[in-house]
Amino acid sequence: MRAEILIAGATGNTGVPLVKRLAAAGVPVRAMIHSPIKKSLVEQKNVETIGGDFARAGLIERALEGISRVYLVSPASPNQVKYQINFVDAAKTMGIKHLVKLSAMGTAPDSSVSLLRWHAEIEDYIRKSGINYTFLHPHSFMENLLASTDSVIKEGVIYSPLGETRISMISVQDIAAVAAAILIDGGHLGKTYTLTGPKAMNFGEIAESLGKIVGKQVKYVQVTYESAKAGMIKAGMPDWFADDIVELMKSWGNGKGSIVSTYVEKLTGQKPIAIHEFFLRHRDRFLAAA
């Protein structure tokens, strides 16, 4: 059976678990990858890999041959609008019947966050293209907490500038489960789904939950946004992206980040992963030698 589903951005945070989920369900899938080095992340039974480049329409169209449904995500980039519009144009040319696009919670044309404005611009372009669409707006990924493994191991501390701000983080596994359900079952045309975890928590509660899983006290230490930005840049994040992440975190104040939706369970039939379950799944990472 040939693949009718293409995952664009297949080696990304949500692309990898989505490809694996579809393949495990026996659904043939084509994975569009930019870097051959990452090919091994998605190679398995029921998966066809193909090279692609969001800047090259010919390669996009080649990846879309014989495809009817697409999951679209691309790396965060100042060229995000250009690249995804290139993809949408190619999808229209190739007669794609359903495009599932990953955006983010808070996507809006008047957002103070560049990425959220760009997502809104792309979504508007998709609406006007005439292609059937579904938009996914997930909250911050639980997997981002894995960046704290060293500080937990060495200091027993999680750092964040968010203070008492509550956020309803979601695992990429749940985002992949939602996308898989939509791509397999069809429907949901013209819908936008805000996706969150099951509970909004502040970082003090998150640290406490992790401590119970690893069997030692884990403290939360609040840092300034300036310090958080400096840490992101030191870790290799571009300045513009670090600025955007700081602006995004600030936008979660006044309850905007504590929204809890029920779409994960409604669309997959399974409750979303809770923070303690996430930590349990990754317990060894927080206990391993730094």
Domain residue ranges of the chain, discontinuous segments joined by + = 5-138, 142-167+198-255+273-287
Does the pLDDT value for residue 1 go beyond 80? no
- Helices 80-93 and 57-64: crossing angle in degrees, nearest 10, is 50
Percent of the chain surpassing pLDDT 70: 99
Cβ atoms within 10 A of the Cβ of 187, count?
Answer: 10
Does the pLDDT value for residue 153 go beyond 60? yes
Give CA angle at 49 (44, 52), nearest 5°. 150
Q: Pick 36 or 131 by higher pLDDT.
A: 131
Does the pLDDT value for residue 190 go beyond 50? yes
Percent of the chain surpassing pLDDT 90: 93
The pLDDT, as a whole number, for residue 282 is 97
Q: Taking residues 92-104, what's their average pLDDT?
A: 98
Summarised one tens digit per residue, pLDDT across range 228-280 is: 999 999 999 999 999 999 999 999 988 899 999 999 999 999 999 999 999 99
The pLDDT, as a whole number, for residue 37 is 84
Q: How far is CA 22 from CA 1, 46, 76, 116, 139, in A?
A: 14, 8, 24, 28, 22
The pLDDT, as a whole number, for residue 2 is 86
Q: Residue 164: is it exposed, middle or buried by C-beta count within 10 angstroms (0-12/13-18/19+)?
A: exposed
User: Which residues have CB under 8 Å from 185's CB, separation 6+?
Assistant: none
Assigned superfamily of 5-138: NAD(P)-binding Rossmann-like Domain (3.40.50.720)
d(CA 161, CA 222): 5
What integer best gives the mean pLDDT of the chain? Answer: 96
| Contact yes or no for 279/206 (Cβ under 8 A) | no
The pLDDT, as a whole number, for residue 123 is 98
d(CA 194, CA 137): 5
CATH architecture label of 142-167+198-255+273-287: Alpha-Beta Complex (3.90)
Q: Taking residues 73-85, what's their average pLDDT?
A: 96
| Contact yes or no for 274/206 (Cβ under 8 A) | no
The pLDDT, as a whole number, for residue 290 is 40
> Which of these, 184, 228, 213, lies nearest to 280 by C-alpha position?
213
Does the pLDDT value for residue 285 go beyond 60? yes
Does the pLDDT value for residue 289 go beyond 70? no
The pLDDT, as a whole number, for residue 186 is 85
